[in-house]
């Protein structure tokens, strides 16, 4: 969005006035949403590429305002980061997702891994470790079943601090995934230094790999590098049979995408656990 703004600077003031007005309105709404707990979580299955079995799920936040309108996380998460409201929101997400996943575990699906997104601000915040320990203790959810998804941007502020934070999390038993790999400030040197369990290939590569040989080569290289470093690889945004076949062929470990299922509300996801998924 920033780049677009730069290229179209002649429209800057008009666009900005509109964006700013919407932003100010949203900010007030977001404040109220936190107080009134207007958020819910949806869950999208993560599938083992070899067997088609559901092995986990990513929790994705949803916000439906009182008037019924839906604001996408792509719009309100950046705002929540800017206003630091992401801290209480993020804690709510972590708690609610662990509580729900614990129920699924207790109902006979104790193999399921829960993936939760953390924004950089949350990840670097001083209270993170305490918060996670508190949530795990209160919900009774196993640390080893929890995976935190962070993006490459966490390294921007303070790489040393980010690494030591990851090490502490790994000591607790929590897994770490790097989200949207390949879109940010990817560097091979940090892949080596970061104690990561899982690498998520960013959607654009996955979506273009069936039509563009260069994207396919990149996906192949990413899988190779990840495996060399003992990390497992998940492809997200998988929408077609063709993409699935290619990814299976290239040895990708896990698959997530609309081909198998959209993110679902709790009741639907519970049903899915009983029926399983098919592409």
Residues near Ca ion (CB under 5 A) are 117, 149, 179-180
How does DSSP classify residue 147?
E
Site for ligand C2E in 179-198 (CB under 6 A): 179-180
Alpha carbon distance 115, 200 (integer Å): 11
3-class SS letters over 73-95: HHHHHHHHHHCCCHHHHHHHHHH
Contacting ligand C2E (CB under 6 A), which of 45, 56, 182, 257? 257
**Stretch in the footprint of ligand C2E (CB under 6 A) among 4-12, 213-221, 237-245, 265-273:** 237-245
**How far is CA 24 from each of CA 35, 42, 244, rounded to the nearest angstrom?**
17, 27, 42
Region 38-97 residues binding ligand C2E, contact defined as CB under 6 A: 44, 60-61, 72-74, 77, 90, 93
Q: Which is nearer to ligand C2E, 16 or 156 (CB)?
A: 156
What does 109-144 look like in DSSP terms, one character per residue?
-TT-EEEEE--HHHHHSTTHHHHHHHHHHHHT--GG
Q: Which stretch binds ligand C2E (CB under 6 A): 1-9, 116-124, 168-176, 223-231?
A: 116-124
C-beta of 180 vs 253, nearer to ligand C2E: 180
Assess 226 for contact with ligand C2E (CB under 6 A): no
* DSSP helix/strand/coil, 145: helix
Q: Stretches 10-18, 23-31, 184-192, 235-243: which one binds ligand C2E (CB under 6 A)?
A: 235-243
DSSP three-state, residue 276: coil
By CB under 6 A, is residue 108 in contact with ligand C2E?
A: no
Compute φ and ψ for 31, nearest 5 degrees.
-55, -50
Applying CB under 6 A, the residues found at the interface with ligand C2E are 44, 60-61, 72-74, 77, 90, 93, 117-119, 179-180, 236-239, 257-258, 263
């Amino acid at each position: 969005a920033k780049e677009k703004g730069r290229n179209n600077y002649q429209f800057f003031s008009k666009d900005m006035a509109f964006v700013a007005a919407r932003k100010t309105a949203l900010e007030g709404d977001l404040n109220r949403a936190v107080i009134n707990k207007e958020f819910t979580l949806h869950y999208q299955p993560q599938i083992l590429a070899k067997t088609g079995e559901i092995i986990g799920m990513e929790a994705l936040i949803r916000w439906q305002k009182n008037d019924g309108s839906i604001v996408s996380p792509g719009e309100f998460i950046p705002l929540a980061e800017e206003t630091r409201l992401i801290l209480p929101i993020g804690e709510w997400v972590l708690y609610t997702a662990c509580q729900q996943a614990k129920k699924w575990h207790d109902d006979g699906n104790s193999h399921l891994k829960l993936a939760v997104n953390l924004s950089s601000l949350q990840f670097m915040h001083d209270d993170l470790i305490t918060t996670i320990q508190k949530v795990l203790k209160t919900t009774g959810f196993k640390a080893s079943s929890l995976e935190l998804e962070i993006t490459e941007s966490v390294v921007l502020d303070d790489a040393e601090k980010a690494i030591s934070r990851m090490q502490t999390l790994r000591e607790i038993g929590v897994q770490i995934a790097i989200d949207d790999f390949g879109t940010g400030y990817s560097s091979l040197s940090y892949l080596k230094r970061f104690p990561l369990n899982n690498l998520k290939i960013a959607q654009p590569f996955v979506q273009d790999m069936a039509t563009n040989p260069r994207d396919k080569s990149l996906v192949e290289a990413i899988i190779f590098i990840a495996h060399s470093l003992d990390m497992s690889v998940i492809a997200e945004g998988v929408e077609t049979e063709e993409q699935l076949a290619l990814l299976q062929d290239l040895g990708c470990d896990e698959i997530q995408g609309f081909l198998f299922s959209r993110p679902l509300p709790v009741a639907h996801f519970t049903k899915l656990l009983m029926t399983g998924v098919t592409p």
